């Protein structure tokens, strides 16, 4: 063999069948080692999603706080429709609960143990449920059309948050499944 071929790692083959094809046998130890490696990758993914979710919830709180102030001061938001008030109220609630859920998530990421996991998963599920409820109002708001760019931005952030929060919850529950 040439020098490059000598440097290449040889594949690990457990046995070769009658036709000369290599077969890899997965033993219980190999499967558990693969599962541990996959579970180890969930912590960085969960921390990234937690950072993204906190940033998005902060933006949602800012925009919906502005819109609520505008409704209180002027009686409405320019370009709003019948679903605007409900969208803003539920955005404020979902944003506050979602921001609180990220604090529980930070506590869980710090320890990454079974003690803090139920609290983080429960609060994240509640925040996701409220975000999905707000997604319904955002969908209705989109259907009724709006002229306000800020409200369109709020709708977009709610749509994105419903997906990223679901991915975060999936990463938490994936770490639960890996520990059994």
Domain of residue 48, CATH code: 1.20.120
State the Cα–Cα distance between residues 109 and 102, nearest whole angstrom.
10
Q: Is residue 140 part of a domain?
A: yes
pLDDT tens digits, one per residue of 31-55: 666 656 666 678 899 999 999 999 9
Q: Is residue 20 part of a domain?
A: no
Q: Give pTM, 2 decimals.
A: 0.77
Q: Is residue 124 part of a domain?
A: yes
pLDDT tens digits, one per residue of 123-142: 999 999 999 999 999 999 99
Q: Is residue 148 part of a domain?
A: yes
Q: Which tokens hold the place of 101?
A: 């859920």
From the CB of residue 50, how many other CB atoms can be counted at a distance below 10 Å? 25
Q: Is residue 94 part of a domain?
A: yes
Q: Is residue 29 part of a domain?
A: no
Domain count, the chain: 1
pLDDT tens digits, one per residue of 50-103: 999 999 999 999 999 999 999 999 988 877 788 999 999 999 999 999 999 999
CA 106 to chain centre: 14
Structural domain span for residue 102: 42-179
Q: Is residue 92 part of a domain?
A: yes
Q: Is residue 81 part of a domain?
A: yes
């Amino acid at each position: 063999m040439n020098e490059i071929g000598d440097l290449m790692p040889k594949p690990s083959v457990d046995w070769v069948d009658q036709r000369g094809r290599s077969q890899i046998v997965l033993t219980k130890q190999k499967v558990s080692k693969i599962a541990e490696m996959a579970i180890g990758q969930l912590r960085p993914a969960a921390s990234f999603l937690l950072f993204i979710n906190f940033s998005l919830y902060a933006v949602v709180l800012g925009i919906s706080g502005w819109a609520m102030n505008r409704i209180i001061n002027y009686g409405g938001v320019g370009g709003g429709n019948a679903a605007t008030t409900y969208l803003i109220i539920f955005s404020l609630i979902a944003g506050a609960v979602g921001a609180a859920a990220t604090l529980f998530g930070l506590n869980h990421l710090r320890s990454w143990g079974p003690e803090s996991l139920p609290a983080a998963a429960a609060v994240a599920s509640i925040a996701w449920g409220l975000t999905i409820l707000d997604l319904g109002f955002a969908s209705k708001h989109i259907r009724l059309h709006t002229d306000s760019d800020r409200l369109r931005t709020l709708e977009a952030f709610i749509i994105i948050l419903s997906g990223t929060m679901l991915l975060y919850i999936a990463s938490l529950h994936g770490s639960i499944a890996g520990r059994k």
